[in-house]
Amino acid sequence: MSQQTDDGSEQTVAELMTQYTYARHRPPLAESAEVLRARIPGWGADLDPADRPSVPQEVYDPAATGAHWTFPERQPGGEGRERSIEHAFLTPVFGTAQPLRGASGLLRRVAYRRFSEARAAHWLVLMAADRVDVAEGFASSLLRARPDNLIAETGVPSERRRHGLASRLGRGRADVGHHALDPVVVAGPWVLAGAAGYRFARRVRRARR
């Protein structure tokens, strides 16, 4: 069985698995064991299988255990989907319910294509994409003339109907401590955005005079 790589060439699954981590066949080291041992004190201390109690479990010998596994049929439509660079290919089954879109989708593609999951940049870009996704959702709701109802969606009316105060006092709830900050966190960005919009509109109006 072969797979198409990012550069369009065809490689067998076995060939791909020798080039990536998280696979049974480990990729070759960038430096030899002798060079690493000389450069890094303590490197390879557990290299001798006799020093690793987990060695019996690391031995890949399906014939000895009777275990068997065949490569499953792959779900179609995986071309262009985001995939960690540590992995040779997508998992046989993947979700399609939330396809990437807009500027947030572009940021997520950059995070997957350029940065390893071991790097903070990968996760920081994904976190930034989440924030952009939220902003896109707000803009989309405004364009559809269906803006978010912050009062209802933050549960303010239920505070009166569902015994909001009684459910908090004397209950030992851990989230009570940050309740004073919740209005600032929720309403703060909207207030700042409104103030910025007002100042921008005022400047535009003055410029036209």
Percent of the chain past pLDDT 90, that is, above it, reads 20
How high is the pLDDT of residue 23? Answer: 53
Q: Is 119 left (phi over 0), alpha (psi -120 to 50) or beta?
A: beta
DSSP annotation of 11: E
Contact (Cβ atoms closer than 8 angstroms) between residue 37 and residue 43: yes
DSSP annotation of 177: G
- Per-residue pLDDT band at 45 (split at 50, 70, 90): confident
Q: Please measure the distance between the N-terminal and C-terminal CA atoms of the chain and give it in whole angstroms.
A: 71
DSSP annotation of 70: -
Distance between CA 80 and CA 6 in Å, rounded? 9
- Over residues 180-187, the mean pLDDT reads 84
Q: What is the pLDDT of residues 123-171, one digit of tens each?
A: 999 999 999 998 899 889 888 888 888 788 888 888 888 888 888 888 8
User: Coil, strand, or helix at residue 110?
Assistant: helix
Q: What is the pLDDT of residues 60-82, one digit of tens each?
A: 777 777 777 777 888 988 888 88
- Per-residue pLDDT band at 17 (split at 50, 70, 90): low
Classify burial at 129, counting beta carbons within 10 Å of its beta carbon; exposed 0-12, middle 13-18, buried 19 or more: buried
- Per-residue pLDDT band at 195 (split at 50, 70, 90): very high
Global pTM reads 0.57
More confident residue, 106 or 49: 106
